[in-house]
Amino acid sequence: MRTARRASAVEVPSFLRQLAKETEKMVTFFFKGDKMDSGDDSSDEDSGPRVYLDQPILEKHTAEGGSQWGVNYATASMQGWRCQMEDAYVCMPEMEGGLAEWGYYAVFDGHAGSTVAEYCSRNLLQHILSTGRVKAEEDPDEVKQGIVQGFLAIDSHMQNLTRQECWERSGSTAAVAMLSPRYIYFVNCGDSRTLLCRDGQVSFYTEDHKPFNPREKERIQNAGGSVTQHRVNGSLAVSRSLGDFDFKEVDWRSQTEQLVSPEPEVYELPRSPTDEFLIVACDGVWDAIGNEELCAFVRSRLRVCNDLREICTQVIDLCLYKGSVDNMSIIIVTFPGAPQVSPEALQQEAELETLIEAKVEEIVNLLRSRGEELDLLYVMKFLVSEDIPGLPPGGGVTSKRDCVISAYQKFVTQSTSPGPTVGENQT
């Protein structure tokens, strides 16, 4: 396991980390504009159990690995503001049997419970392989058919389990990237998303399945349903998913003709030496940052950080501060053509952090000269309004908050003039 390397090497004292955590809710509300009650959840929980916590759970679970063919991956997930963690994911850089040169990466974004997401993370690949259509001597059309059949098979199997074992009525989206030596297969069912960065820009991304999309809306209406407030029957915010069997109860209709379809869309793209990285993530990430922004941010971080786990956690933190109130899970898969850490980029990053530190000192001194209380949140707000050259593309000053916090602590504690204590700042 590689050791994480932050672009900022300044260690933040534990007492200041606590201060940052205590202001995190205010900072999050500042950047997201109080969208916590916007109803963006995939299921209608307004009248059900409590959905959000008073404080986000910031603990992150990370992992990394790679294949002998130069493809590496890292993952990170965080519960965030949600009362439950309902995401699941799986990474398999080398598949079993005769498919050792193949890789499989998937994120499952559960809603109304985690049962379906967790079951799919453990069993979906086996259902796909059981079709016999995914072979080392691949035929792309056969592979795509096998993937679709695997999705339909696991959904039918889970529906039987739900009836027999009284499963919770949960559902899950699925975003999958399957790599062969020749192709990348992009698989999507719901509103999680997969993105490919090739030759420095977004080359391909999957389309979200939303009820208001014309084709999805037509199927829903043909099944006797309606789209109200951008939701299936005013309730479910995705039009395709695994599980959600309350929306799949018309026995005389096929699986793909129900109100909610388990059929994924599958695309194949020939691999290229200019492929840089793949991102597979749930909508908790994509709701907060766009395709081009995230692509640019990850590229910039790859030039200054040699630990993919660290970059994954930076993305999650950035999305939290940009306003995501959902569970967040992300997988980043890098190819041999991915950007590498460079001395030039490290020098630019160091110059940026020096500039940020100088601006924080300026703000602290300004507040002191006015006799005003020092406040980390005010410093962050002030910096957001400043034109600071060299900030990470797609990330802005929010992606450099560790540097801001370190500088804030430095100038608050080292000053010889009397000022408010950290305890006073917390009030």
Q: What is the pLDDT of residues 197-227, one digit of tens each?
A: 999 999 999 999 999 999 999 999 999 999 9
- 417-423 contacts, C-beta under 8 A, 24 or more apart: 417/368, 419/368, 419/374, 420/373, 420/374, 422/15, 422/16, 422/19
CB 308 within 8 A of CB 408: no
Same domain as 255, residue 110: yes
Around Cβ 315, how many Cβ atoms within 10 Å? Answer: 26
Same domain as 359, residue 210: no
What's the pTM value of the predicted model, to 2 decimals?
0.88
Same domain as 304, residue 200: yes
Around Cβ 293, how many Cβ atoms within 10 Å? Answer: 17
Helices 401-414 and 376-385: angle between axes, nearest 10 degrees:
130
Token output for 346: 């490290």
Of 306, 339, 372, the last residue of a domain is 339
CATH of the domain at 412: 1.10.10.430
Same domain as 224, residue 205: yes
Same domain as 350, residue 245: no
In the chain, the N- to C-terminal Cα span, in Å, equals: 41
Same domain as 130, residue 191: yes
Same domain as 207, residue 115: yes
Of 339, 361, 383, the last residue of a domain is 339
d(CA 254, CA 276): 40
| Positions of the chain with pLDDT lower than 70, given as ranges | 1-49, 414-427
CB 119 within 8 A of CB 110: no
Of 315, 339, 363, the last residue of a domain is 339
DSSP for 41-70? SSS--TTSS--EEEEEEEEEEEEEEE-TTS
- Classify 324 as helix, strand or coil: coil
CB 52 within 8 A of CB 287: no
Cβ-based burial of 82 (10 A; exposed 0-12, middle 13-18, buried ≥19):
buried
DSSP for 157-218? HHHHHHHHHT----EEEEEEEEE-SSEEEEEEESS-EEEEEETTEEEEEPPP--TTSHHHHH
Type and span of the H or E element at 104: strand 103-111
pLDDT at 205: 98
Residue type, 275: D
Same domain as 333, residue 367: no
Around Cβ 127, how many Cβ atoms within 10 Å? Answer: 20
d(CA 301, CA 237): 33
What is the total residue count of the chain?
Answer: 427
pLDDT at 24: 54
Residue with tokens 């016999």: 132
What is the chain's Cα-based Rg? 23
CA 36 from centroid of its chain's CA atoms: 18
d(CA 89, CA 195): 16
- As for how many domains the chain has, the answer is 2
**Could you tell me the residue range of the domain that residue 28 belongs to?**
1-34+342-427
Same domain as 121, residue 225: yes
Around Cβ 368, how many Cβ atoms within 10 Å? Answer: 18
CATH of the domain at 155: 3.60.40.10
> DSSP state, 14?
H
> DSSP state, 256?
G
CB 376 within 8 A of CB 405: yes
Same domain as 239, residue 350: no
- Classify 151 as helix, strand or coil: helix
Q: 3-state SS string over 111-125? A: ECCCHHHHHHHHHHH
d(CA 261, CA 244): 9
Same domain as 269, residue 149: yes
pLDDT at 48: 56
From residue 122, alpha-carbon distances to 76, 168, 346, 412 in Å are 18, 18, 40, 50
Same domain as 332, residue 194: yes
- Classify 314 as helix, strand or coil: helix
- Classify 243 as helix, strand or coil: strand
Cβ-based burial of 54 (10 A; exposed 0-12, middle 13-18, buried ≥19):
exposed
